[in-house]
Amino acid sequence: MFKKYRLKNFDFLLVLLVVSLNVIGILAIGSAEEGVQDKQLYGMAVGIVLMFFLAFFDYSVLLRLQWAEYFLMIALLVLVELFGESVNGAKRWLDLKIIQFQPSDIVKILLILFYAQFIMKYRERLNTFRTLFFAVLLIVPPLVLIYRQPNLSTMILITMLFCIILFIGGLSWKIIGGVLAVVVPTLLIFLSIVMQEDQTLLRDFQRNRIMAFFDPEAYADSTAYQQLNSVIAIGSGQLWGKGLNNNVIASVKNGDYLPEAQTDFIFAVIGEELGFIGSVAVILLLIFIVLRCLSTARMAKDTAGTVIAGSVGALIGVQGVMNIAVATMLMPTTGQTLPFVSSGLSSLVSLYIGIGLVLNVRLQRRNLYNL
């Protein structure tokens, strides 16, 4: 369970990058909504403890619990379906009295662990129809349960994560090309259908988000309101920003034009108050964290370690891109948090758990030269 590791293999740089990004997030959250800053600090403390615990916990032990993790994931999502708390028309949270959390966040990490073991077991047969069919069949239940919450953006994110996991595990380029040849036209057809007023595939608020992306002026007072103000806020920060906790009257944030800015649109707060320099710093920290995870994947001792480290890096990268793209109006509103920056305990703690796993993979690295 716990092994004797060589301390020189511990990735102090990755920890420094993650904590630095988290600190920036806490400062920005305090400026956006001071009342939730202490809660985020608590989440950071819990996350760091879990990160260090898992950093020295042999991930191979967790891999042997593959099916327990899968059924735990399904059980959590079923509990949301049956007893979840509804907020703004979405049932995505479980209230355990002591803490309220969003199970879909921890599901992302459980899926990575599950498929890491799955791919290591079936690596030689990964590109066969039977193995791929089984892999796809197992991902369907959690996707359906998440879609029903409804949480379309998380369903899309997990689908992308699943595809990346298979790619890291050794999926053939021929199969990838064949899938893209089917998925791209299907996506275009799907978009053309959901843009029709009488469509039944998406709920009205989901369709409105897509329509607001293509025609923001028509939805300027409703669905596109936050995105338009987010772009204004980021642009108004210019090079150095207006400063954290400023009292500038012309501030978009101070004027309450960014409701719940501490969550989905925290990047707008960073852009306005820390300017271009602060925004670039956040983006660079995210990039360095992802690259560090990929570096760990390259030196992992086994296929499962490669999948774990590479997939955690991919999760942070894709989720970060989605959040920043929404804040800068490059894609429709999704509701995805900015990793280690946005307010949200379940997202923050689950990502720290993922980093802890990456740290353990690196501690058990293969004996390579010049690394």
Q: What is the pLDDT of residue 370?
A: 40
Q: Are 32 and 255 in contact (CB under 8 A)?
A: no
Instruction: Report the distance separating Cα 54 and Cα 60, nearest Å.
Output: 11
Instruction: Report the distance separating Cα 85 and Cα 336, nearest Å.
Output: 18
> In the predicted model, is pLDDT for residue 246 greater than 60?
yes
Instruction: Report the distance separating Cα 58 and Cα 51, nearest Å.
Output: 13
Higher-confidence residue of 92 and 105: namely 105
Q: What is the pLDDT of residue 371?
A: 40
Name residue, tokens 């988000």: 209
Q: What is the pLDDT of residue 369?
A: 41
Query: pLDDT tens digits for 282-297?
Result: 999 999 999 999 999 9
Instruction: Report the distance separating Cα 70 and Cα 74, nearest Å.
Output: 6
Report the mean per-residue pLDDT for the chain. 88
Q: If pLDDT is split at 50, 70 and 90, which confidence band does 2 have? A: low
Q: Stretch 222-242: mean pLDDT, rounded?
A: 87
Beta strands 85-87 and 90-95 are: antiparallel
Which stretch of 34-38, 269-273, 336-340, 357-361 has the lowest confidence by average pLDDT? 34-38
Higher-confidence residue of 313 and 264: namely 313
Q: What is the pLDDT of residue 276?
A: 95
Which stretch of 4-18, 179-193, 195-209, 248-262 has the lowest confidence by average pLDDT? 195-209
Q: Are 293 and 310 in contact (CB under 8 A)?
A: yes
Query: pLDDT tens digits for 150-201?
Result: 888 899 999 999 999 999 999 988 888 887 888 788 888 877 777 777 777 7
Q: What is the pLDDT of residue 225?
A: 82
Query: pLDDT tens digits for 333-360?
Result: 888 899 999 998 999 999 999 999 999 9
Q: If pLDDT is split at 50, 70 and 90, which confidence band does 88 have? A: low
Q: Are 155 and 143 in contact (CB under 8 A)?
A: yes
> Where would I find the H helices in 216-302?
225-236, 266-298
Q: What is the pLDDT of residue 153?
A: 87
| 3-state SS, residue 87 | strand
Q: What is the pLDDT of residue 91?
A: 78
Structure tokens at 330: 């490059």
